Structure 1
Amino acid sequence: MSIPNEALQKLLVEIEQKAVFSQQQMGIVKSQMASKARETRMNTLTSTEVSSLPAGTPVYEGVGKMFVLTPTEEVKKRLETESEELKSETANLEKKLHYLETTYRTSRENIDQLFKRAGGGG
């Protein structure tokens, strides 16, 4: 049973578009993951520095164009919260990347199968 050329071509175009879209999205997600990795490193370095300060050391945080005296414990809590958020966001990006890689691979396999069928049956 052979598929008409028009339908085959339409199907091929749809699968190819899906593969291209997945590939573009993979690039975006990888870029986002790299950005989150940088943020995580900065967060870790800041946390290490703040933890090494003696008790009672004044700590200032930037707010816009000014600096505000903030208790060290508040800074540590904020850094811990940001760290957890970064872990969660990174895990979600990893899941999204895995889904996109699977979609891309499946699309490529479907294109290969279409060419084999068209070449052998048509």
Structure 2
Amino acid sequence: MNIANIKQRLHSYCSGFIEQNSLSDSEMELHKAEFFKTLAHHEHEQDSHPYVSSNDRNAVWYFLRAALRGNADASFKLGQSYLDGDLGLDKDYKKAQYWLERAVHQGHPEAKAYLYTVFSELAFS
């Protein structure tokens, strides 16, 4: 990603931020997390050395903030990240289970089936 693309994304993000006044705090946190996750993944595609970037840390921070504010999507994404070892997090099945179960309790539509499928695969592998 060149500097012009980064500036364009940042401008799009900032102009979209103004329109987000109607969003709840947790939805704004989730939006920020998705933004940083996209940047982190693109950063890792460009560099072959595994490392934890500030974008990884920011994405996890905003997912955590949104999840703690009751956002089911953020809890689901944290569970997935712990399960896959994504965003600089170590694979941790216990933490993945915690966040996925939290997403279920928060009403995430896919979390229960995802949790069942993933842990069934782990049990039989």
- For the criterion TM > 0.5, the same-fold answer is no
**Greater strand share, 1 or 2?**
1
Q: Which has the larger radius of gyration?
A: 1
- What TM-score do you get using the length of structure 1 for normalisation? 0.29
